[in-house]
Structure 1
């Protein structure tokens, strides 16, 4: 399901991002399994929860986006459910559809050399690819301490480090590495890619489960 851009719903909205400035969303807690992800004006607002009585089932919901057919409703919409095994994503159900193998939504990317990225066993880049609802292919790549999302060119099956990332995920930071959180985790998204935000968020949570478990 493609989401409308917030700029299309109200040209005078102070929350509408410029055409060049990344759209920032912030995670409210260090845990990506129990958190809220939202921008400063709550134009995009995701509730991510893994209840104690169902620790293997992460539920991802979103409030209706301004400009959508359900804007007048205040109820959360189901985006996805992620099934976990020892903390690692193994199953996925998008928009209430049937459960499927998570690796059919996010799969390990074919290696490509890139000096600044984290290297795999063969000295190659670590990355994970997925498709949005419009069959656009994206790749999450590890770059230093962050994750960068890039479009995959259909002609070559490769992403380009020379192009700005579609999105960037920064993990939270703590005082002295072990103290209280000094900087929350953030997700910066190119405004042109906001229509794919559901897929981007779900893929990010799955990739982080792969990396941490």
Structure 2
């Protein structure tokens, strides 16, 4: 009798709590992956992405996006190489993401140097590996739905994230908000 086939790990479903991209939470059902995206009124140009540590139940800033009026958008991420594990240096958004000319989307480098590309397919935002011939989406954005198109939401927006992208979630969330 052959061994049982390897079970495929289902994708993570990160659900948006609100429709605001600057003030929301994204979380899976069991809060194993829980991110808070917040822009404080006393600092309206900086959006912070905080991650909840499921063991200690503490929020930790993993990314910041600076949208100062009249200047280019800047981003910075948690620096795993630093001794105090603080945030790294500011990077211009145009250096972090290479936007496509005349279209929606662009490419950016992952934490291990691999290239990823945001693109639209049938008016849906997807993330694929830049060198993937089959263009299998690693992350898909699913839009929210409303009752009769105007009333309360019947389904929140959510990101479908494949398990192999778990270590890159800060960059995915930071990019989708910049």
The TM-score with structure 1 as length reference comes to 0.69
Partner of 1:68: none
**1:145-189 CA-partner distances (Å, limit 9, x unpaired):** 321100011xxxxx54x3420110122222333332222110001
The alignment's C-alpha RMSD in Å is 2.2
Partner of 1:205: 177
**Matches of 1:19 and 1:51, distance apart in 2:** 40
Greater fraction of residues in strand: 2
**Contact 1:141–1:147, Cα closer than 8 Å, also in 2:** yes
| 1:101 partnered with 2:92 | yes
Equivalent in 123, 126, 145 of residue 173 of structure 1: 145
**Contact 1:19–1:191, Cα closer than 8 Å, also in 2:** no
Deviation at 1:20, TM superposition (A): 4.5
Structure 1 residues 23 and 174 mapped into 2: Cα distance closer, same or farther (>3 Å)?
A: same
Equivalent in 28, 31, 48 of residue 37 of structure 2: 48
**How do 1:116-127 and structure 2 match up within 5 A?**
120=102, 126-127=104-105
| 1:141 partnered with 2:132 | no
Partner of 2:167: 195
Deviation at 1:85, TM superposition (A): 4.3
**1:126-153 CA-partner distances (Å, limit 9, x unpaired):** 3211111100110110223321100011
**Contact 1:26–1:39, Cα closer than 8 Å, also in 2:** yes
**Matches of 2:25 and 2:72, distance apart in 1:** 19
**Matches of 2:72 and 2:123, distance apart in 1:** 21
**Matches of 2:8 and 2:38, distance apart in 1:** 32
Deviation at 1:89, TM superposition (A): 7.3
**Matches of 1:89 and 1:168, distance apart in 2:** 27
**Matches of 2:111 and 2:95, distance apart in 1:** 14
4+ residue stretches of structure 1 with deviation over 4 A? Answer: none
**Matches of 2:170 and 2:145, distance apart in 1:** 25
Q: Which has the higher contact order (CA 8 A, sep 6+)?
A: 1
The count of corresponding residues between Structure 1 and Structure 2 is 163
Partner of 2:81: none
